[in-house]
Each structure stands twice: as C-alpha cells, then as structure tokens.
Structure 1
Amino acid sequence: MTIYERALDFVPDGEVIGLGSGRAAWAFVRLLGERVRAGAIRVRGVPTSDETARLAVECGVPLAELAGAGELAVTVDGADEVDPNLDLIKGYGRALLREKVVAAASRRLVILVGQEKLVPKLGTRGKLPVEVVPFAVPLCDRKLVALGLSPVLWRSGGQPGVTDNGNRILDCGTGPIADPAALDAALHAVPGVAGTGLFVRMAGTVLVGDDKTFEFIEERTPSR
C-alpha cells in the first residue's frame, strides 16, 4: 500500500475535504481523481492554491468554496518538516497561508511526508517562510531580524515573488527552533505578517512513506 492509498482511508464519502499543495498533496489529488471518476467515492475539494485547483479540475475532482462549506471533514497535505511532536514547517511551495486556513477549517489534518522530512527540531532545514503584505515588507524585515531571524525576500524570475493572495514571502534563515509556538506568536504580533509556515498542534495524522510503500502512522488529537 502506498502512502497515498493509505490517505484515502481518511476521506469519508460524500464530504467536502481540503486539498493541499505540493508534490505529495498533488499525488494524492491524482489518485483521488481516479477514484472519483470510477464512482468509488463522492467528494468535493477546497483547494489550497490555484495550482491545486487546476489539477483537481483536470483530475475530475469537483471543487467547493470555503465560504459555505462549513467544517471540512479532512485536509490532506504535505509538509517540509515534521518534528517528534507532529508540529510542522510548511510553505516552501508558497501556499502556506491558504494551507493553514483550510487546515484550521478541518476536523483532521493528514500530512504525507517522506522520511527525509522528519527532523529532531523544527528549523533543522534552515528555512521558515513568512507571508507578509507588500506594503509591510520593510517593517517586517526589520522586525524579523530583531527576532533573531535572517529574512530574504523570495524572488521569482528576478522580481519579488507574489503568492496566490497577492502577498510576498520572506524566507527566514533559522536554526533549530526551541519554542515553535512562542515564535509563531511573536511573528503574528508583527503588523503586516499575514501568516507563517509554523503549523503548531494542527496535524492529527502523519503518514510516512512514498509512491511505493507506506511505512507507519503517527496520530494525536489536535488541540483546535
């Protein structure tokens, strides 16, 4: 059984679910589309990025708007880091704000990762994305430096990159983070910060594996 097949076990028939962004999430969307087209399951998906929305349409997964959907049954997404507490860093794919909103709207967040994404402490890979409104970039840059981070403005094609929300990303250099919850709170206290890549106590299930194997499962009850 692959990690993506195992993730389907968490998707109830007839519900609205969240569709994540990134390689692992898109592999899941493709498999989900196969099951939808075969009539094996009926779902609608709330996408976390424009790219996910395009893929879901191509794969035959009906879309739903977050407005009016109510509580989502589950969101299936990937992550860039997972620590032993199942806390996450996300956002290398630039969809972190919508991913967090959709995850928070869900009864359960199921995360799909390979072994290489498991870290002893968040920040081990050295990057924490922070989404900021364009007007506030200079202020946020100074404030994030004062918090001990090393922010670098994300650029795409030689120009400042723009998220699906019309915002910018500051990729913050960081070492291992001693207290992710405290850092997340400090970042959100900076005017202009729209979201951070820290997903603290949000994941209920982490599946570890790849497109050939399913290795193990970690679970907890999220405190949301």
Structure 2
Amino acid sequence: MSSHSDANDTARLKREAATWAVDAFFRSSMVVGLGTGSTAAFAVQRLAESRAQGRLVDVRAVPTSRETEALARGLGVPLTTLDEDPVVDVTVDGADEVAPDLSLIKGGGGALLREKIVAQASRRLVIIVDAGKLSPRLGTRWPLPVEVLPFGWRSQSLFLESLGASVAVRRDERGEPFLTDQGNLVLDCDFGPIDHPEELAARLGSRAGVVGHGLFLGLTTDLVVAGSNGVEHRTRPT
C-alpha cells in the first residue's frame, strides 16, 4: 500500500513542478522544447490545457523524442523542428539526478541525444523534478547513460570499464537491447559518485562510437523542484 501511495505522491509532485514551470516560463508566440519522460509528459499536458483555455497562442513545440511527438500531436499541440526553428526560446525537461550546481544526469527515458541537441539550441533550459531527484553528487543515485553505435559496441563497453564503470546494456520490456530513436544502444554505466564530471564528459566526447552521454553540464538555467513544502525555483549558481 505504501509503495502505491509513494508512487501517487511522486506523480503529484511531478505534475506540480511541470504545471508551475509551464505557467511561469511559456509565453504566447514562443518556440518551446518539450522533453521526454513522465515528468515532461505533464508539461506537455499543461501546454495543451493552456492552449485550449486561450492562455497560450501561437506556440510551436520541438519534441525531443517520438514518444513526446506522439503525445503532443495527440493533444493538438502544434509542432515544429530545429530545421524550421533552430533557436528555441525555452525548453522544459526532466532529469534523473540533479547536483547542487544544477548539473544533471539525463537519459533514463533513452532520449539523451535529442534532449541535449534541443537543450543546446535553447535560450533557457528549465529542469522540472520532484525532490527525490536531488543529489549531493552526480552518479550517487543513478547510472550514467551512454549512447553508442551498435557497430563495435563491445569495444565501447571495454573503454567505459577502463574508466571505472560497471556497464550494463539497457534492455526493453521484451528483454531485447533497447534502441534509441536513432537506432543506437544505451550502455548504463555505474561510476559511483563522479568526482570530475567535466573530465569524464571530455573523455566520452572524444571517443569514436560514443554518440552521446547523459552528463548535462552548464546547460540548466532554471530548476523547478516540487517537494513536501511546495514548489521551489532555483537558478544556476554564478
């Protein structure tokens, strides 16, 4: 019973954070980015509600995954692409783990590459989470997703192990290797608490065959946290 209650509480907090963020940051005539995952889905729903009620007009959205695209399209949200609108006014997305400096681990939903592309194209990146996603250091509570080409993936696994990770191939609900929207594999890498995320990001970024990783560093401008005491808004430390 308590686990069901906890799940309901977590969903409620996610919805509160998403609702607050959309109401606070989305404005009419904006190009907005829509993240992927359960928390971001609440933001898509709030955007659709706001359009239906006439509070937001002429908003075009860039989805970060096929899953988000299908949800937004089903709710009647007008969609665009980075080819048509290469600069995004504000993106709202979730995160798996958030450090005090607002650096993130993302990719639990498997959309890490597209999410980072949209985040880097955004003037403002608003991350919405429940308080359970806050962490003293990245890697404390969540493995780091690394997206790799299927070609030669075992060599990437050995490379990641050489950096100190315990590596697992992500699998789907059928037990088959999970494939991203780009047709790539995701290796979930347990490094433990990461002391030097910038250094690790540089190592991963220089490796051929690694097409993306879930370290989002220096991208978050705003954090919206929903907890037992309500919604809190934080900005990136300067």
Tell me if TM exceeds 0.5. Answer: yes
Q: Is the 8 A contact 1:2 1:213 kept in 2?
A: no
Q: Which residue of 1 aligns with 2:17?
A: 3
Distance 2:194 2:92 in 1: 25
1:126–1:174 distance in 2 versus 1, CA, 3 Å: farther
Q: Which residue of 1 aligns with 2:209?
A: 192
Distance 1:182 1:214 in 2: 35
SS at match of 2:39: helix
Q: Is the 8 A contact 1:18 1:46 kept in 2?
A: yes
1:4 Cα deviation (Å)?
Answer: 2.4
Q: Which has the higher mean CA deviation after the structures are superposed, 102-111 or 182-191?
A: 182-191
Pick one of 13, 29, 35 that aligns with 1:20: 35
Distance 1:4 1:190 in 2: 35
Q: Which residue of 2 aligns with 1:180?
A: 197
Length-normalised TM-score, structure 2? 0.89
Q: Which residue of 1 aligns with 2:220?
A: 203
1:113-147 superposed Cα distances (whole Å, 9 cap, x missing partner)? 01100000000114110001110311111111111
Distance 1:167 1:53 in 2: 19
Distance 2:97 2:83 in 1: 29
Q: Which residue of 2 aligns with 1:32?
A: 47
Q: Which residue of 2 aligns with 1:112?
A: 128
Count of residues in correspondence between the two structures:
221
1:221 Cα deviation (Å)?
Answer: 7.5
1:178 Cα deviation (Å)?
Answer: 0.3
Length-normalised TM-score, structure 1? 0.94
Matches within 5 A, 1:62-101: 62-101=78-117
Q: Which has the higher mean CA deviation after the structures are superposed, 191-200 or 136-145?
A: 136-145
Structure 2 gap segments, 5+ residues each: 1-14
Q: Is the 8 A contact 1:3 1:213 kept in 2?
A: no
Q: Is the 8 A contact 1:207 1:214 kept in 2?
A: no
Distance 1:200 1:176 in 2: 15
Matches within 5 A, 1:124-135: 124-135=140-151
Structure 1 gap segments, 5+ residues each: none
Distance 1:213 1:78 in 2: 20
SS at match of 2:62: strand
Q: Is the 8 A contact 2:60 2:78 kept in 1?
A: yes
1:169 and 2:166 correspond: no
Q: Which amino acid aligns with 2:206?
A: A
Q: Which amino acid aligns with 1:113?
A: V
1:213 Cα deviation (Å)?
Answer: 7.2
1:85–1:218 distance in 2 versus 1, CA, 3 Å: same
SS at match of 1:216: strand
Q: Could you tell me the percent identity over the aligned residues?
A: 46
SS at match of 2:151: helix
SS at match of 2:152: helix
RMSD: 1.7
Distance 2:121 2:203 in 1: 23
Distance 1:176 1:193 in 2: 21
1:12 Cα deviation (Å)?
Answer: 2.2
Q: Is the 8 A contact 1:132 1:167 kept in 2?
A: yes
